[in-house]
Chains A and B, each alone.
Chain A
Amino acid sequence: MSETTRNHRIFAIWPGLVGVFMLALLLTPATVGAEEGLTGKVSLTYLKNTDGDRELRAKVLVTRDAEEGEFPVENMTVQFFADAEEISEPAVAEAGEDGEDAEEAAPAEPLVEMKPALLGEAVTDADGVALYVVKGDEKIAQTADHMVAFEARPVFEGLEDVKGRVSVQEAEIELGLDEEEGLVMATVRKVSGDEIEPVAYASVEYYVLRTFGDIGFHGDFTMTDDDGLVGEEFPDGIPGDEAGVVQVMVRIQGQEQLGRTEKLIDVPWGIARAPLERDRALWAGRDSAPWWLIWTVNTLLVAWAAAIVYLLWSLVGIRRAGGRREA
């Protein structure tokens, strides 16, 4: 066989090898779920936000036998369910041996069971979290003890039996301001069937919203009274916007049964700040950096870069001068 022919054959193999490689790449993600020893868990949390919508967050973490630790999986589909009433037909009573007419027997009650009904799907992000929002006006069935239950199940090969559940009693927060006392008033109620009842002795947390985290100003024992009412004094000296408005978030969380709920209110008792001159300010965004700073930084950089280029050019000069001497 000539050298040329052998080379041609080698070239002919390349497309095949590339094809195999591409196929392996395509198959790689799909094989994750098929691994043996793959287990997982779903942590499902519930939050009724300030708009009254229920935010269901499912964090899915998988564990592989071959590796230590838990890992999030991105782009995994998660199905969200809510328990709903399912009515099944009763079994038809058989006619008695004594010839009793079936029509004369007492009619059987239909069976009512709470079973998960699909709400919808969401996809996990890089942290393995899938968010599904159930609108506030969407009716969710309650159990006999007035609880609502949600469930999340990942749609992933090998994790068919994995699911997370959360069961809460839905609550509502109503906010108001007591101008005379300087109090932010909150009324906490729970939804029991078609009724709304006040919640007594619920811990309520008050936060001023800030860019990098909320600042709490509630006491250790800020609790509702028998009417579900609580008031917290708004602290002095909190900077607000140009009108002195501060956003205050009131939360109930970590209660035994009540679902995590929050409500936002604008409180006009903060310190009004002077209008910010955002144009060309040190604290402005990148596009509005001060001219003097842009010029200073760039002038310094250009000067330093020019000096470095000069030094490098000098090295070329030294080499050339040495070359001429050698020649």
Chain B
Amino acid sequence: MTKPEAWKEQVIEDGLRSLKSRMGPIGWTWTLFLLAVIAVGVYAYIQQVRYGLVVTGMNDKYVWGLYITQFIFMVAVSLVAVIFSSILKLANYEFRRPLTRIAEFISVGAILFAPLAILVHTNHLETVFPLLLSIVGYGRVQSPIIWDVLVVNTYLIVCILLLYIPMIPDLAYCRDHLDGIPGWQKKLYQVLSLNWQGTEEQIAIWERARTVLILLLIPVAIAIRTVSSWLFAMTHRPGWDSTAFGAYFIAGAFVTGVASVIVLMFVLRYGFGLKRYITDRHFDITGKFLVLLSLIYLYFNISEFLVPAYKMGESEGVLLQLLFVGEFAPLFWTGMIVGVVVPAVVPIFKKGRSPGVLAVVGVAVLVAHWAERLAIVIPPMATPFSPIQVIPAEWQSYSATWEEWAVAMAILAGGLLTITILMRIFPVVPIYDLTKGAYREAAEGDGLELVADNHVVQEVKDV
């Protein structure tokens, strides 16, 4: 057996191992926990349908709350695929190869459930289909909400294709190499692998489709994030009235996305025994990448807050007071320090890029970015440009109810459960891709010079 053949056998063995084994106690505990969160969320949603949106903390003044926060957070997370599967591939960064499937799992899980956050805000889900149909007849093309509906659905389709099309050869490996699995799973691999034999004709069609897909992904991903930001920026409110909101949102989404990949990298490396593919070097490069993205995001934050703070216009001034030293200061500074400064500083140090530390930073960034999104959504509603008169005292502030928390967390749990299920059904590393490119060359041991990821190749050689 040649070196590349041995390497291929090794990748197939490692890639399919998690699909052959049964779920362990940690996996079951995690899954049952997610199901319990979803069950509580469903119960809370039933209460909401029964009694109306009055069970939430939203009112005539605070018309948006946790649901919209959850939506923009999950859309942000879903943007990660565009980095690892599209931009880094186009730039020929070979180190991305083992990480693409992780990014695609996260994207699909997040974008499948993000729209649900909007739909539960409409309260009655049974009206959703007629509502979507009514867009054709009554939709106003000038409305950013219409743009959002169109682009979210397009992105959802693209993300599913992005997960599926590159995975077709791997599904053929599953079909051919996995024995002793349930019949439905075998059938699933047979159907989804599309008679993949690895013929030249199939590979040619497949490669063309992948190229189209990664080129398509970039504008659609930028569009979804920009349009989501325009839902805010097109509204006449302090804090949202910014021409740079689209770019600001995209920069933040990239940080959130990379943080989520780091966390899942850690889980897979230690939980699925994939040290061979998710190496210290991957954490090292991803950590540096996180620093770069965080600095860009820091720049946008300074720009977003310094300009209005310099002028201190009437409503903007009140908002900035609320954010910097007022009611929302804990939320705001948590978002800024933990979500922007920490990922920009900690991974600068070598120890900060070690798997354990970086995973902790990743979790902290995700929590802080959630808080930061809440600080983007809620405070501007406290300081509208247009005065709102004669409203009850209890509507002067927003406090999310347990029903809102339960539903919002259930949506998040739904996304996480989807990722968990995908990890149990499909290979978590791209088997075919890991037998190509720099990884194959490294396995052949020809010592090819690679500028960007020489160390990755070296590490593969060492294995």
Considering the chains assembled together, what is the distance between the CA atoms of A290 and B140 in angstroms?
11
**Does A318 have its Cβ within 8 Å of any Cβ on chain B?**
yes
| In the assembled complex, B181 has its CB within 8 A of some CB on chain A | no
Q: Pick out which of these stretches binds chain B: A4-12, A116-124, A159-167, A319-327.
A: A319-327
**What are the residues of chain B within 8 A of A314 when measuring CB–CB?**
165, 205-206, 208-209, 212
Interface size on A, residues (CB 8 A): 33
State how many angstroms separate the Cβ of B251 from the closest Cβ of chain A: 23
- Contact between A310 and B212, CB atoms less than 8 A apart: yes
Q: Does A317 contact B (CB under 8 A)?
A: yes
B147 touches A297 (CB 8 A): yes
The answer to whether A1 has its CB under 8 Å from any CB of chain B is no
Give a binary string over B173-212; 1 marks a CB under 8 Å from any A CB, 0 the rest.
0000000000000000000001111010110011011001
User: Given the complex, which residues of B lie within 8 Å of A21, measured CB to CB?
Assistant: none
Q: Is B337 an interface residue (CB 8 A)?
A: no
Return chain B residues, CB-CB under 8 Å to A318: 168, 194-196, 202, 205-206, 209
B51 in complex: contacting residue of A69, A282, A290, A319, CB < 8 Å: A69
Q: A297's closest neighbor in chain B, by CB? A: B141
A319 touches B194 (CB 8 A): yes
Residues of B within 8 A of A321 (CB): 195, 197, 199, 201-202, 205
Tell me the smallest distance from the CB of B384 to a CB of chain A, in Å: 12
Given known contacts A304-B216, A321-B202, A311 and B161 CB-to-CB distance under 8 angstroms = yes
Q: A48 to B67, alpha carbons, bound, how many Å? A: 41
**A-B contact number at CB 8 A:** 91
Closest B residue by C-beta to A312: B161
B197 touches A325 (CB 8 A): yes
**Interface check A34, CB cutoff 8 A:** no
Residues in A whose Cβ lies below 8 Å from that of B201: 321, 324
Contact partner, B142, options A215, A289, A326, Cβ 8 Å? A289
B 410-451 contacts with A by CB, 8 A? none
List the A side residues contacting B388 at CB < 8 Å.
Answer: 213
User: B154 near A: Cβ within 8 Å?
Assistant: yes
A325 cross-chain contacts in B, Cβ below 8 A: 195, 197, 199, 202
Against B, the Cβ 8 Å flags (1 = close, 0 = not) of A34-48 are 000000000000000
Establish whether residues B196 and A308, one from each chain, have CB atoms under 8 Å apart when the complex forms.
no
Q: Which of A60-109 contact B (CB under 8 A)?
A: 69
Cα(A216)–Cα(B388), bound, Å: 9
Question: Which residues from A are CB-within-8-Å of B44?
Answer: none
Residues of A within 8 A of B216 (CB): 304, 307-308, 311
Q: How far is the CB of A102 from chain B (nearest CB, A)?
A: 66
A22 contact set on B, CB distance < 8 A: none
Shortest distance from the beta carbon of B168 to any chain A beta carbon, whole Å? 7
Question: In the complex, which residues 271-327 of chain A have their Cβ closer than 8 Å to any Cβ of chain B?
Answer: 282-286, 289-290, 293-294, 297, 300-301, 304, 307-308, 310-311, 314-315, 317-319, 321-326
Asked if B140 contacts A289 (CB within 8 A), the reply is yes
Question: Who on chain A is nearest to B52 by CB?
Answer: A69
| Interface 0/1 of B136-162, CB less than 8 Å to A | 001111100001001000100110010
Smallest distance from the beta carbon of B191 to chain A beta carbons, Å? Answer: 10
Residue of B whose beta carbon sits closest to that of A294:
B141
**Is B165 in contact with A311, judged by CB distance below 8 angstroms?**
yes
In the complex, A215→B390 CA distance in Å?
9
Q: How far is the CB of B123 from chain A (nearest CB, A)?
A: 15
Q: Does B195 lie within 8 Å of A326, measured CB to CB?
A: yes
Is there a chain A Cβ closer than 8 Å to B220's Cβ?
A: yes
* B40 in contact (CB, < 8 A): no
CB distance from B178 to the nearest CB of A (A): 18
Provide the bound-state CA to CA distance between A317 and B197, in Å. Answer: 13
B322 part of interface (Cβ distance < 8 Å): no
Q: Roughly how many angstroms separate A149 CA and B138 CA in the complex, as a whole number?
A: 45
Of the residues A283, A311, A319, contact of B209 by C-beta under 8 Å: A311
A290 to B142: give the CA distance in the assembly, Å.
8
A213 to B161, alpha carbons, bound, how many Å? 46
Q: How far is the CA of A215 from the CA of B168 in the complex (A)?
A: 61
> Given the complex of chains A and B, what is the CA–CA distance between A323 and B196 in angstroms?
9
Contact pattern, A 108-148, Cβ under 8 Å of B = 1, otherwise 0:
00000000000000000000000000000000000000000
Closest to B217 in A: A307
Contact across chains for B212 and A311 when beta carbons are under 8 A apart: yes
B-side contacts of A301, CB under 8 Å: 150, 154
A317–B205 CA distance with the chains assembled, in angstroms? 7
**Which among A215, A283, A289, A323 is the interface contact of B141 at CB below 8 angstroms?**
A289
In Å, the complex CA distance between A308 and B206 comes to 14
Q: Is B24 an interface residue (CB 8 A)?
A: no
Bound CA–CA A265/B157 (angstroms): 55
Q: How far is the CB of B237 from chain A (nearest CB, A)?
A: 14
Complex Cα distance, B142 from A284, in Å, reads 8
Please state if B390 and A216 are interface contacts (CB–CB under 8 Å). yes
Residues of B within 8 A of A284 (CB): 142
Judged by a CB distance under 8 angstroms, whether B387 is at the interface is yes
Cα separation A326 to B168 with both chains bound (whole Å): 17
Measured CB to CB, the closest approach of chain A to B111, in angstroms, equals 15
11 additional A-B pairs beyond A311-B212, A317-B205, beta carbons within 8 Å, are A290-B142, A294-B141, A297-B141, A297-B147, A301-B154, A311-B161, A311-B165, A318-B205, A319-B194, A322-B197, A326-B197
What are 15 residue pairs bridging A and B, where the CB atoms are less than 8 Å apart in the complex?
A: A214-B389, A284-B142, A300-B223, A301-B154, A308-B161, A310-B212, A311-B161, A311-B212, A318-B202, A318-B209, A319-B195, A322-B195, A322-B202, A325-B197, A325-B202
Interface residues of B (CB under 8 A from A): 50-51, 138-142, 147, 150, 154, 157-158, 161, 165, 168, 194-197, 199, 201-202, 205-206, 208-209, 212-213, 216, 220, 223, 386-390
Residues on A lying within 8 angstroms of B by beta carbon are 69, 213-216, 282-286, 289-290, 293-294, 297, 300-301, 304, 307-308, 310-311, 314-315, 317-319, 321-326
A-B pairs, top 4 by smallest CB distance, nearest first, are A322-B195, A314-B209, A319-B194, A321-B201
